[in-house]
Amino acid sequence: MVEPDRLIRLAHTRPTLTQHPPVRIADLYLQRGGQYILRDITANLGLSDVTAIMGPNGAGKTQLLRLIAGLGQPDSGTIKFAWPDAPEKHRIALVFQRPVLLRRSALANLTHALAQYGVTRTRRTARAMELLDFGGLTDRANIPARALSGGEQQRLTLVRALGAAPDLLLLDEPTSNLDPRSTAAIEALIQRATAQGVRVILVTHDIGQARRLAKDILFLQDGQVAEHSPAPQFFDTPTSAQAAAYLRGELYL
Amino acid sequence: MQDFTAAFRAALDLVFRMDADLMEIVGLSLLVSGAAVTLACVIGFPLGAALGAGRFAGRMPLLVLVNAAMGLPPVVVGLTLYLLLSRAGPLGPLDLLYTPTAMILAQTVLVTPIVAAITAQIVADLSEEYRDLFATMGMRRTAQAATLMWDGRFALTTAVLAGAGRALAEVGAVVIVGGNIDHVTRVMTTAIALETSRGALELALGLGLILLTLSLGINAALMGVRAAARRLSDG
Amino acid sequence: MIRLALLLTLTAAPVFAQDHILIQSTTSTQNSGLYDHLLPLFQAETGIEPRVVAVGTGQAIRNATNCDGDVLLVHSRAAEDAFVSAGYGTQRHDVMFNDFIIIGPETITADSPAAALTSIAQAELPFLSRGDDSGTHSREMALWNTADIDPTGASGGWYRETGAGMGATLNIAAGMGAYTLTDRATWLTFANPADLVISYEGHADLNNQYGVIAVSPQHCPSVNAIGAQTFVDWITGTSGQQAIAAYRLNGAPLFTPNAAE
Ligand SMILES: Nc1ncnc2c1ncn2[C@@H]1O[C@H](COP(=O)(O)OP(=O)(O)OP(=O)(O)O)[C@@H](O)[C@H]1O
Ligand SMILES: [Mg+2]
C-alpha cells in the first residue's frame, strides 16, 4: 500500500531528540468509579522514537494515553511536555482504540480533520487524497467511513492523525484489527514518521510488533508501572515478575 | 360507516372540482405552517445545538423549559399572543392581529420548542460519541456545532417533520390570532372547526381527510428526499 | 428567507391601505350563512372589504373594547348599551331580529319559555347551556331568572355547561339527546339535527334582536371610523335592510330587518 519514500512529506522535519525527555510524567494518580485505576505513575517518555506501553487488559494503558493526550485531568500528579526547539509548542495526535469516525465519506473525514488543522480549503482535497493513498484507501474515498471494514477504519484514523503533522503520535493498539500485510504497512508508516522526528507512544499486545518497533517498553499492571526497560532487556531478561509472566503468556495475579 | 363514505365523497368532490375556496385555504395553510416551520428551524436548530452540545450556566434549566414547552397548549399561546398583538396590547401599533403574520408568529412559538428539543437530543447523542475526537482536534465550540448538525442532518428531518405536523394540525392558536376570516386568515383547521359548528360534519371530515392526505404527502416527500440524499451522499 | 420577507410585506400591506373593515360578530350570524349573502353586496356597493371575526357576543365585545375591530354586530342588548355608555361605541342601532327556540328530543307544552324551562328542571331532563357569556347564554340566564330557578346548582348533573359555541353545543345536544336554547337561524342552517325537534317556540320573551355599533374613534384612534360608519349606514339603510329580508332558507326568511328609518 504505502510507498515508503512518500511518507517523507507527511511529517515535519525537526532536530532529533536525545537528552530532553519530551514527556515527563510525575506521581500520576487517576480515580474512576471510586478506585484508583492509575497509581503513582512516574516515567519519562519519548526519549526514544518509539515507546511501547504494554500490559494485560485493564492495566490502565488507554487511560494513561488519554491523559497524555489531554483528555481529562489526573486526580494528582503532572504531565509535562518539552520540545527542544519550541518547549511549549507541541502537537499531539491520538488514534483511539475504537475508531471514532464522522458520518461522512472516508475522504470527507480527512478534509474535515485537515480543516481543523488549518489546511486551506484549496489544498485540502489533494492532501486528503495523499493521506488516503498512504493508508491504501484510495478506492474507498467516497464510501461512508462507518461502512468501511474494521481494518480500513483503523487505517483511516491513523492517516487522519498523521494529517495533523503531530510532534507526538499516540497509538492505542493501531493494528489490532489488521491483516499481516496491512500491519506491516502500518509499521512501515510508523517508522517513516519517526524518521522525521515524530515521537510515537504505542500501546500494543503484539510482542513481535513491540520488538520490531519499540526502543523502550513501559509495562503497566493494575494501574502501576511494573517495569520500564530498554526493549532488548525487557524481552530477554524482564526484571519484574509481572512482565515475565505476561511474556510467557501467563496471568500474574 | 355512512358518515365516512359521505365524508370521503365530500373530500373527493372538493378536490376534483379544484374548488377555488379550498385551494385558497390549503394554500394559506401551507404558507403559514411552512413559514412557521422555517422560522422555527432558524431559531430551533442553533438553540437545540447549543442546548445539546454547549456547556454554559443555566443549560439544564433551559433544556427542561424547552422540553416542557413542547406541550404548550395552542390556546394559551394564541391567547398570550392576542393580548400582545391586540390594539390595546404592547404590540398593538404593529397592526398584526388577524393577519397571516400573526398566525405565523403563533405557530412559530408552538413549533420552535419541538425543533429545539429534538435537535438538542440528536446533537447530544452525537456529541457524546464525538467528544473525545473533537477534543484531540482542538475544535472550537462553533466548529463542533457545525459538524454535529451536518452529521445529524438526516436525523434532524425528524425535527422538521414533527414541527410541521404540529403546525398543520393545530387550531387553537390560529383561530384566536387569525380570527378565521374568510379569504384572509382561514386555514384548513379553522375551516374544519367552522364546518363542524355548522353541523356540516361530512364536509368537516372531508376537509380533515384532505389535511391528512396533505400531511402524509409532505411526510412521504421529505422521507423520500432524505432516503435519496442519504443514498447519494456519504451516509 | 426571501419568501418569508415577501410574505411579511404582503400580509402587512392591506393593513395600512385601510380599504377594509373588521366586524366583530357572533357565530349565529356567520353560521346561518347571512354574511356570505350580505357582505359581497356591501363590498360591491362601497368598495370596502368587510372581514368578519365570529365569536361569542361576550368575546366580540371584549375584542372591540380592546380596539380589535371597527364594528360590533351582536345580540345582547344590555351588554351593547353598556358598551356604548362606557364610551367604547358611538351609537347603537337596531338591525334585525329573529327568535330563540328551545330544541330537544320532544316538544314541550307551556305558557311561557320560563314555564318550559321549569318543567325541564323539575323532570331533571338533560339541558345544555352555552356557559360562554354569549348573547344566547345571557338570554338563557334571563329566562331562568324569570322562572326563579338557579340551574347552576345542578351543573354537571342534568344541567351541563358546554363552554362552547352554538354549533358545538348543538352537536352535543344531537349526540346525547338534550335540550338547549338556540337562535332560529343557526338551527335552520344546522346540518346535523339528528332526532331533535323544536320543543318550544313563539313567545315575546324569545325575541332575538341584533344591534350594530361603530367602535368609537375617540376610544380607539386606530379604527377605520369612516369604513365603520359606512357599514352601519349601509346595513341600517335601504340596501342592507332589503338584502337581509331577501336572505331565505327553503323559502323561509332567517332574519327580519327592523332598523329605524
Ligand atoms: N469510568 C470508569 N469507571 C470505573 N472503571 C473504569 C472507568 N473507566 C475505566 N475503568 C477501568 O480502568 C481500567 C483501565 O482501563 P483501560 O481502558 O485503561 O485498560 P487497558 O489497559 O487499555 O486495557 P485493554 O488492553 O483491554 O485495552 C479498567 O479496569 C477499566 O474497567
Ligand atoms: Mg485499552
Quote the pLDDT of residue C11.
47
A48 backbone dihedrals φ, ψ, rounded to 5°: -105, 170
Rounded CA separation B26/A4 (Å): 66
Residues flanking ion ligand 2, Cβ below 5 Å: A 62, 97
CB C134 within 8 A of CB C31: no
Mean pLDDT of chain B: 91
- Given a cut of 70, whether residue A238 has pLDDT beyond it is yes
Laid out side by side, the sheet with A23-32 consists of A35-45, A23-32, A76-81
Query: How many domains are contained in chain B?
Result: 1
**Is residue B140 classed exposed, middle or buried when 0-12, 13-18 and 19+ CB atoms within 10 A define those classes?**
exposed
Contacts of C30 in chain B (CB under 8 A): 194
**Is the domain covering C99-206 a CATH 3.10.20.600 domain?**
no
- How far CA B136 is from CA of A163, A176, B83, C29, in Å, comes to 13, 21, 51, 70
Q: Do domains C20-98+208-257 and C99-206 have the same CATH topology?
A: yes
Residue A2 banded pLDDT, cuts 50, 70, 90: very low
pLDDT range class, residue C97, cuts 50, 70, 90: very high
Q: In which domain, by residue range, is B151 found?
A: 2-234
Q: What is the DSSP string of B127-149?
A: HHHHHHHHHHHT--HHHHHHHHH
| Residues C190-243: tens digit of each pLDDT | 988 889 999 999 999 999 999 999 999 999 999 999 999 999 999 999 999 999
The model's pTM is: 0.84
Q: Which chains touch B (3 or more CB pairs under 8 A)?
A: A, C
B196 in reach of chain C (CB within 8 A): yes
Q: Which three cell numbers stand for residue B107?
A: 405557530
C156 CA: distance to closest CA in chain B (Å): 23
CATH number (domain holding residue B44): 1.10.3720.10
- pLDDT confidence tier of residue C134, bands split at 50, 70 and 90: confident
Q: Which of A11-20, A76-85, A233-242, B120-129 has the lowest mean pLDDT?
A: A11-20
ipTM given for this complex: 0.83
The yes-or-no reply on A/B contact (3 CB pairs or more, < 8 Å) is yes
pLDDT score of A13: 40
Give φ, ψ of A95 to 5 degrees.
-105, 115
Across A75-100, average pLDDT: 81
The grid coordinates of residue B28 equal 394559506
Closest C-alpha to ligand 1, atom 24:
A57
- pLDDT digits 0-9 by tens, C143-180: 999 999 999 999 889 999 998 888 899 999 999 999 99
Question: Shortest Cα distance from B196 to chain A (angstroms)?
Answer: 49
Report the residue among A28, A29, A30, A32 best suited for mutation to probe ligand 1: largest number of ligand atoms under 8 A from its CB: A32
Q: Across residues B197-211, what is the average pLDDT?
A: 88
Nearest-angstrom CA–CA distance, B174 and B185: 8
Q: What are phi and psi of B55, to 5 degrees?
A: -130, 95
Task: Name the grid cell of C156.
Answer: 354537571
> And the C-alpha cell for C179?
335540550
- Contact: A100, B132; criterion CB under 8 Å: yes
Report the atom number in ligand 1 closest to the C-alpha of A60: 18
Long-range contacts formed by C193-197: CB under 8 A, 24+ apart: C193/B199, C193/C103, C195/C105, C196/C103, C196/C104, C196/C105, C197/C103, C197/C104, C197/C105, C197/C106, C197/C107
Q: A11, A198 in Cβ contact below 8 A?
A: yes
Chain B residues in contact with C63 (beta carbon < 8 A): 86
Report how far ligand 1's centroid is from the alpha carbon of B31 (Å). 55
Under the banding of pLDDT at 50, 70 and 90, the label for residue C1 is very low
Nearest Cα to Cα of residue A215 among A232, A198, A238, A227: A232
Q: What is the C-alpha to C-alpha distance for residues A26 and B84, in angstroms, rounded to an integer? A: 64
- Ligand 1: atom nearest CA of A37 is 12
pLDDT of residue B36: 98
Residue ranges per structural domain of chain C: 20-98+208-257, 99-206
A241 touches chain B (CB under 8 A): no
Handedness of CA A67, A69, A71, A76 (dihedral sign): positive
Q: What DSSP string runs through B28-39?
A: HHHHHHHHHHHH
Query: And the C-alpha cell for C141?
Result: 340566564
Q: What is the pLDDT of residue A219?
A: 96
Place B199 in a pLDDT band, splitting at 50, 70 and 90: confident
Q: Can you say how many angstroms the Cα of residue A89 is from the centroid of all Cα atoms in its chain?
A: 19
pLDDT at B45 over 80: yes
Who has greater pLDDT, C251 or C145? C145
Q: Do B31 and C167 touch (CB under 8 A)?
A: no
The yes-or-no verdict on residue A87 having pLDDT over 80 is: no
CA distances from C16 to C20, C219, C222 (A): 10, 20, 11
Beta strands C20-26 and C71-74 are parallel
Average pLDDT, chain A: 87
Nearest ligand to residue A59 Cα: 1
Q: Which domains does chain A have, with CATH numbers?
A: 4-19+49-70+90-219+226-247 (3.40.50.300)
Nearest-CA residue for atom 7 of ligand 1: A32
CATH number of C20-98+208-257: 3.40.190.10
Compute the CA torsion angle B68, B70, B74, B76 (nearest 10 deg): 20
pLDDT value for A84: 61
Predicted confidence at residue C182, as pLDDT, reads 96
SS3 content of chain C, % helix, strand, coil (to 5): 45, 25, 30
**Bridge partners, A92 (sequence order):** A168
Closest C-alpha residue for ligand 1 atom 22: A62
Q: Report pLDDT digits (tens) over B151-177.
A: 999 899 999 999 999 999 999 999 999
**Where are the strands (E) in A46-148, listed by range?**
50-54, 76-81, 92-95
SS3 C96: strand
From residue B218, how far is each of A153, B27, B38 by CA, in Å? 37, 14, 14
List, as one string, the DSSP characters of C118-165: HHHHHHT--EEE--SS-HHHHHHHHHHHHHT--GGGGBTTTEEE--S-
- Of the two residues B9 and A112, the one the predictor is more confident about is A112
Read off the pLDDT of residues B63-78 as tens digits, 9 standing for 90 and up. 999 999 999 999 999 9
How far apart CA A95 and CA A73 sit, in angstroms, is: 19
A240-249 residue pLDDT tens: 999 999 998 8
E strand or H helix at C198: strand C197-200
